[in-house]
Structure 1
Amino acid sequence: MFFIDTLDVAGLGNRGYLAGGERTAAVVDPPRDVDRVLAAAARREVRITHVVETHLHNDYVSGGLELARLTGADYLVPAAARVAFARTPVRDGDRVVVDTGLTLRALATPGHTPHHTSYVLEERESEVAVFTGGSLLIGTVGRPDLVEPRLTEELARAQHASAHRLAAELPDETQVLPTHGFGSFCSASQADGDATTIGKEKAHNDALTRDVDTFVAELLAGLDDIPAYYAHMGPLNAAGPQPVDLTPPALADAEEIAARLAAGEWVVDLRSRVAFAEGHLAGSFNFEAGGQLAPYLAWLVPWGRPVTLLAESAEQLADAQRELVRVGIDRPAAAATGGPSDWVRAGDTPAAFPRAAFADLARRYPAEGVVVLDVRRTSERSAGFVDGSLHIPLHTLRRRLDEIPEGEVWVHCAGGMRAAVAASLLDAIGRDVVAVDDAFDAAEQAGLTVRNA
């Protein structure tokens, strides 16, 4: 008998896996906070003997090196991946024994990266599952444009070939277990569903239903912007990430927080966008805990800039720390818990701005002095936008603030979270802002003119 446990990393849209038998197990693409992995192995009462990477990751810091160090496991990394640490190099066709009757077989599947490798889990004579990393995903494939722009088309063609190799060599009933595709920006598009097999992908995946030229043209046309922090993840993983420190950060009082703000540090309020709008420390930025805190904060913050975290509770702070180490924001410079009354210096008052729905905007727009700012990505806007709105994707907003005309800025996204981040950035520089906390589907229903690109 064998088992496969999913190590879901929802904030990044990724998964790792613990797979094994009665006594021993392997871990595929582990998250950086390896205590989760160790706990999963303890629940199964198995010893981790192999830690396996499908590729050098561009979207998160791997826990593989630390996990192998802590457990004594063999650390399997594709042989062509250039790394600065000792590991067991893996080549196409290599096999390792995970437990009695249970093996992993390496299958070269370049495309997401040149060295990308999938791993087939074999129980006796049956190929029961394949860990596909960033190769064959649910209904799509991993992005081919993260390594080097000049290689993008070549890697896109390799993705097509790798998908066909997997489909040709594995039975239809083989489970497909990808790392990316559940919200990860490493995926060319997002997964439709939670589980799949080789047979299902043969019927629905564009890589397996379209000829190579059509597939490549459509894949390249659909690629969106690459998160800025990705530039730092690959080098960190190649150098060998340092062990994680999740101990609580030093607590700061109102005077220290003010000093950090004055020094140009980022002070990040983790509370809900509703609570932030009602009252917050002037100059702080709102990135809601949970959701996609880590990718959006890592995308927007100048890399290496000290970050102070403001949280409702110690638990919220600890959860945020865990999320942020996964993207290389290792230690908050300081932290505080409570609310604005605890973070604002004596004599100062909290800042605030209004929230609204698209119906409220429809009653005000169009009008002199009202600016509608759309902070969705370009691919989202192409499906429809409020007529006359200004489009500045959230990840570009910091460097384009001077493009926003004078007036009252009504900022929206697809659902409210990114609009709240944008509103906090605008509020911090003294702009008159309204955060539209509403689903974009409501815009046309509210009477606003929505045009298609």
Structure 2
Amino acid sequence: MADRTLTVRTIETPSLGDRTYVVHDGDVAFVIDPQRDIDRVLEILEADGVRLRDVFETHIHNDYVTGGLALARATGATYHVNAADEVGFDRTPIEDGEVVDVGSRMAVRAIATPGHTFTHLSYALTDRAEPYAVFTGGSLLYGATGRPDLLGAEHADALARHQHASATLLAEELPDDTEVFPTHGFGSFCAASQSASTSSTIGREKLSNPVLTQDEETYVRDLLDGLGAWPAYYAHMGPANAAGPDAPDLSLVQEADAEELRRRIEAGEWVVDLRHRTAFAAGHAPGTLNFGLDGGFATYLGWLIDWGTPVTLLGESAEDVATAQRELARIGIDRPAAQATGGPRNWTSGELARFPTGTFAELAQVLHHRDVVVLDVRRADEHRDAALEGALNIPIHELPRRLAEVPAGEVWVHCASGYRAAVAASFLAAADRTLVAVDDAFENAAAVGLRLVRRADRAENGSQR
């Protein structure tokens, strides 16, 4: 096996659950699946003193807008996209089995690995002809695979079977000590399931990954049965990537005063408070929505918003606003309508709105004394696995259009850890509902005496009827 002297730089995008890779030999480099904000790649190239030769896409992405075309144009690198993908820009088409020499040491071989998409490619890297690593995009992930249903439920079964065959092919063709570098699988909804692993090899995946330990029928059945909802904004990513996105403009937009913010809220625009949920609950400008930067900000905002609705960002600092603007650019929301910094007293000329927060222990005490509405905003599959007895489930991504279904009365809203509950609470507060946001881990609910109904209980009750 070759000495491990090549450098693989990983660029994490934890808010979307993805990775970009910069690989070099000390002289020339290639990049796999760059995110939209290419300045992060350019900084690594400059810091390491290497020249970018090639950019490779594993597939037309569904969860973010690519920076591949912009990066190639900025550096003069060759942009490799599957020849079978229909795109609206000039690229260097690449096909299964084709080998690209990057400098004198590195050779990158395209391997057709359909499953996440029909035209998905993985890229096997050799160092002076010795196997080194494989970049698997949304195919073979750590302990999982990419989900097969993003192109439509009608294709899910066929793609799942392709995914099984593709993973098997990689396991058969590559040595056990080949390092595996996936793009998805670190919280991305493009992954069929999640793993805590941060590194792996082909050999380790053979021992632990269901796609390599289960037969095809078992794998396909379990995979399809376990799929949950995916963010609505994904529908816009494929077309944007096929069209060929430019680099984003990340300069700050115009600042809005309190009067303009009120006008935007009354016009039905989204004015988004980026602060932590506890600060928002303690006091916020009426009608603003809370998507804190501490959680899946872009994922949930992109999931809930009606595409094209103007967004204004409110942050404690210009840095917070810039961070949010960068996050939104990654999913194709390029220019916010406006921004403001400071705090809620800068953002409204009237009284602040506020609502209380609570724990599951406090909810248990309240239920001893009075009836309240318990609203669970987790996904439907999470609710089916385990739910508070009597709780109403409206998944967070459905809540904006289903607010009228929340019964009258005091609402205690919860999720799994507090972030989604806070988002939901801001919508309820904007609708003038009386509420308490549960800022607690769902795993604490049973320990404080709240009765849970589990999937196994429902199955047993169903079999007895």
**Shared fold, TM over 0.5:** yes
Distance 1:112 1:390 in 2: 33
8 Å CA contact retained: 2:276, 2:294: no
Q: Which residue of 2 aligns with 1:37?
A: 41
What is the CA–CA distance in structure 1 between the aligned matches of 2:369 and 2:424, rounded to whole Å? Answer: 22
Q: Where does residue 323 of structure 1 map in the other structure?
A: 327
Determine which of 226, 234, 242 is the counterpart of 2:230.
226
- Conserved in 2, the CA contact under 8 Å of 1:427 and 1:433? yes
Distance 1:139 1:126 in 2: 25
Secondary structure of the 1:372 match is: strand
Task: After TM superposition, give the deviation of residue 307 of structure 1 in Å.
Answer: 0.2
- The match for 1:443 is 445
Measure how far apart 1:11 and its partner are.
0.4
> Structure 1 counterpart of 2:376, which letter?
D
Aligned pair partner of 2:241 in 237, 240, 243: 237
How does the TM-score come out when normalised to structure 1? 0.98
8 A Cα contact 2:36 2:68, kept in partner: yes
Kindly indicate whether residue 132 of structure 2 is the aligned counterpart of residue 138 of structure 1.
Answer: no
Please list, as runs of the form range in 1=range in 2, the aligned pairs for 1:227-306 lying within 5 A after superposition: 227-306=231-310
Conserved? CA contact 1:249–1:334, under 8 Å: yes
What is aligned with 1:344? 348
Q: TM-score, normalised by structure 2?
A: 0.96
Tell me the equivalent position of 1:386. Answer: 388
1:88-121 Cα offsets, whole Å, 9 max, x none, are 1110111111222111110000000000000001
Which whole-Å CA distance do the structure 1 matches of 2:105 and 2:245 have between them?
Answer: 33
Identity of aligned residues (%): 56
| Aligned residues of 1:20 and 1:99 also touching (Cα < 8 A) | no
Matched, 1:69 2:59: no
Query: Conserved in 1, the CA contact under 8 Å of 2:38 and 2:247?
Result: no
Contact 2:37 2:247 in 1 (8 A): no
State whether residues 37 and 326 of structure 2, in contact with CA within 8 Å, keep that contact through their aligned partners in structure 1. yes
One-letter amino acid of the counterpart of residue 123, structure 1: D
> Superposition pairs for residues 47-196 of structure 1, below 5 Å?
47-196=51-200
Per the alignment, residue 218 of structure 2 pairs with 214
1:303 and 1:366 map into 2 onto residues whose CA distance is 43
Partners of 1:151 and 1:15 in 2: CA distance: 26
Which residue matches 2:431? 429
* Alignment-derived partner of residue 373 in structure 1: 375
SS of residue in 1 equivalent to 2:445: helix
Q: Which residue of structure 1 aligns with residue 25 of structure 2?
A: 21
- The amino acid of 2:55's aligned partner reads V
Partner of 1:365: helix, strand, or coil? helix
For the 8 Å contact 1:290–1:320, the answer to whether it is kept is no
Q: 1:354 aligns with which of 356, 371, 376?
A: 356
Q: What secondary structure does 2:15 align onto? A: helix
SS at 1:199's partner residue? helix
Offset from partner CA, 1:239-294 (integer Å, 9 cap, x none): 11132100011000000101111111000000000100000011110000142101
CA distance in 1, matches of 2:82, 2:222: 29
Q: CA deviation at 1:192?
A: 2.8
Q: Deviations over 1:174-210 (max 9, x none)?
A: 0010000000000000123111100000001111011
Q: Distance in 1 between matches of 2:245 and 2:395?
A: 31
List alignment gaps of at least 5 residues for structure 2: 456-465
Letter in structure 2 aligned against 1:12: L
The answer to whether the Cα contact below 8 Å between 1:142 and 1:187 also exists between their aligned partners in 2 is yes
Q: Which residue of 1 aligns with 2:461?
A: none
Cα distance in 2 for partners of 1:74, 1:217 equals 40
CA RMSD of aligned residues (A): 0.9
C-alpha offsets along residues 295-350 of structure 1, whole Å, 9 cap, x if unaligned? 100000110100000001011111111111001111110000000110012xx101
Return the alpha-carbon distance in structure 2 between the equivalents of residues 428 and 338 of structure 1: 21
Report which stretch shifted further, 47-56 or 144-153.
144-153
More off after superposition, 428-437 vs 99-108: 99-108
5+ long unaligned stretches in structure 1 = none
1:57-94 CA-partner distances (Å, limit 9, x unpaired): 00000000100000010000011111000001110111
Moved more, 298-307 or 144-153: 144-153
Output the CA distance in 1 between the equivalents of 2:252 and 2:220: 47
Q: What's the offset of the Cα at 1:369?
A: 4.2
Q: Structure 1: which amino acid aligns with 2:10?
A: T
CA apart distance, 1:409: 0.4
- Deviation string, structure 1 residues 366-422 (Cα, Å, up to 9, x no partner): 665400000111222222111111011101111111111111000000000000000
- The 2-side partners of 1:25 and 1:191 are apart by 29
